[in-house]
Amino acid sequence: MRVCILGSGLSSLTLAKSLVNQKIYVDVLYSKKSYSVNKTRTIGLSKSNVEFFNKKIINIEKIIYKLNKIEIYSDNLEKQKLINFGNNNDHLFSIVKNYKLQEILEKNLSKSKYFRKINNKKKLNYSNDYDLVFNTDYNHPITKKHFSRKIEKRYNSVAYTTILEHERIPNNVAVQIFTKNGPLAFLPISDYETSIVYSINSYLKDEKEVNNLINIYNSKYNLKKINKIDSFELQGLSLRSYFHKNILAFGDLLHKIHPLAGQGFNMTIRDIKILNDIIQNKIDLGLPLDSRLNSEFENSQKHKNYIFSSGIDLIHEFFNLERKTKNDFLSKSIQYFNKNSSINKIFIKFADKGLIF
């Protein structure tokens, strides 16, 4: 069996490695256009997804930084702690630099006989040349033709990302602050580096403005350097139809959410888990891997992904409304419920594994 993946980003390479591990021949179509890799972008991985990555995709223990606690604060309660997840003895979440994960996947895939890269200018008949096609490419003609129907949301916000270099300290606690400008996350990636994701409700032309805001909320680190800041507009989307014939949309093309909970790439990993299970079940039963797989995947994941995305969006809207009205009712309610250990465990399970039903 041979499949094709359109696009060569992180989601594509992770999916490719998963399929190669199941001894499926994979062609990844890429562009020869050169681009600079942003070395300040990071992603969060839940504990269960790290375990899945290590077991089913590739071992990433050497490039991840494990966090034991997540603390959430709000300006509306004068920076009082709203939620406290985890403890000092348990791995709760991990942070990894995008480029390091991409490098380890590319290096490993290049050694596999089941994998090859193809210039996307090559003319292919996707219906006849491949059993299945996985599309992660926004700009591919197939996307515009078959995957344009979606539920979209513009947050009218811009995410600013960078890495702080600071004096070495014990650094295993992630912090998120719902500021008057938008959610700000401090995500440790070593004892001397911390990633920043600041979703601000307006576009700041001057990088110094972002640096000043970071400094206002930084009460923990003795800074040595704030690296170059990257930015991108925030948008949410859920695709209405996951597939067309033997072509299945995947990754951010399938769903995109607000980064406040660090769950975007985690959703993709959970999709890969389900896809793995469907494929392995068909292999075990001696069934062909054809377009029926796409239908099974959509039936399994579409409602879960939509509910999960809506839940993250609801959290954003609640805090956004609280920010606009300057009412602290939501923050105080969350603070109260967080004292209940059972509810706290539900929050942790939701963040770790998504929806389970």
Sequence letter at residue 184? L
Which run of H or of E encompasses 302?
A: helix 292-325
Give residues with Cβ within 8 angstroms of 179, minimum separation 6.
Answer: 75, 213, 217
- Portion of the chain with pLDDT greater than 70, in percent: 86
Q: Give the sheet arrangement for strand 42-46, strand by strand.
A: 42-46, 93-97, 65-67
Closest CA to 247 of 332, 347, 125: 125
Looking at every residue in the chain, the average pLDDT score rounds to 88
Give the CA diameter of the chain.
61
Q: What is the dihedral of CA 182, 11, 191, 38, to 10 degrees?
A: -80
Which run of H or of E encompasses 157?
A: strand 150-166
Record the pTM: 0.91
Banded pLDDT at 205 (limits 50, 70, 90): low
pLDDT tens, residue by residue, 237-279: 999 999 999 999 999 999 999 998 889 999 999 999 999 999 9
- Portion of the chain with pLDDT greater than 90, in percent: 61
Task: Judge whether 247 and 146 are in contact, CB under 8 Å.
Answer: yes
Q: What is the pLDDT of residue 341?
A: 65
Banded pLDDT at 122 (limits 50, 70, 90): low
Give the distance, in angstroms, between the CA of residue 75 and the centroid of all CA atoms in the same chain. 26
Give residues with Cβ within 8 angstroms of 92, minimum separation 6.
Answer: 47, 67, 68, 69, 70, 85, 86, 348, 352
Q: Distance (Å, rounded) from C-alpha 353 to C-alpha 349? A: 6
Q: If you average pLDDT over residues 38-47, what whole number do you get?
A: 89
pLDDT tens, residue by residue, 15-24: 999 999 999 9
Residue with tokens 């597939």: 243
Q: What is the dihedral of CA 26, 4, 121, 252, to 10 degrees?
A: -110
Q: Which two tokens stand for residue 160?
A: 């600013």
Say how many domains are in the chain.
1
pLDDT tens, residue by residue, 129-184: 899 999 999 888 999 999 999 999 988 889 999 999 999 999 999 999 988 888 99
Task: Judge whether 76 and 328 are in contact, CB under 8 Å.
Answer: yes
DSSP at 31: -
Banded pLDDT at 338 (limits 50, 70, 90): low
Per the structure, the complete domain to which residue 41 belongs is given by 2-353
Banded pLDDT at 126 (limits 50, 70, 90): confident
Q: Which two tokens stand for residue 19?
A: 């399929």
CB atoms within 10 A of CB 169: 13
Angstrom distances, CA of residue 343 to CA of 86, 103, 230: 13, 39, 36
Banded pLDDT at 331 (limits 50, 70, 90): low
Q: If you average pLDDT over residues 59-68, what whole number do you get?
A: 96
Banded pLDDT at 92 (limits 50, 70, 90): confident
Q: What is the pLDDT of residue 128?
A: 81
Angstrom distances, CA of residue 144 to CA of 147, 149, 257, 282: 6, 9, 21, 31
Q: Is the pLDDT of residue 286 over 50?
A: yes
CATH number at residue 204: 3.50.50.60
When mean pLDDT is compared across 27-41, 92-106, 150-164, 173-187, the lowest value belongs to: 27-41
Q: Is the pLDDT of residue 33 over 60?
A: no
Q: What is the pLDDT of residue 34?
A: 47
Q: Distance (Å, rounded) from C-alpha 60 to C-alpha 78? A: 38
Packed helices 264-285 and 10-21: angle between N→C axes, nearest 10 degrees: 20
Structural Rg of the chain based on CA atoms: 21
Q: What is the pLDDT of residue 72?
A: 87
Q: What is the dihedral of CA 112, 44, 224, 218, to 10 degrees?
A: 180
Q: Is the pLDDT of residue 88 over 80?
A: no
Q: Is the pLDDT of residue 35 over 60?
A: no
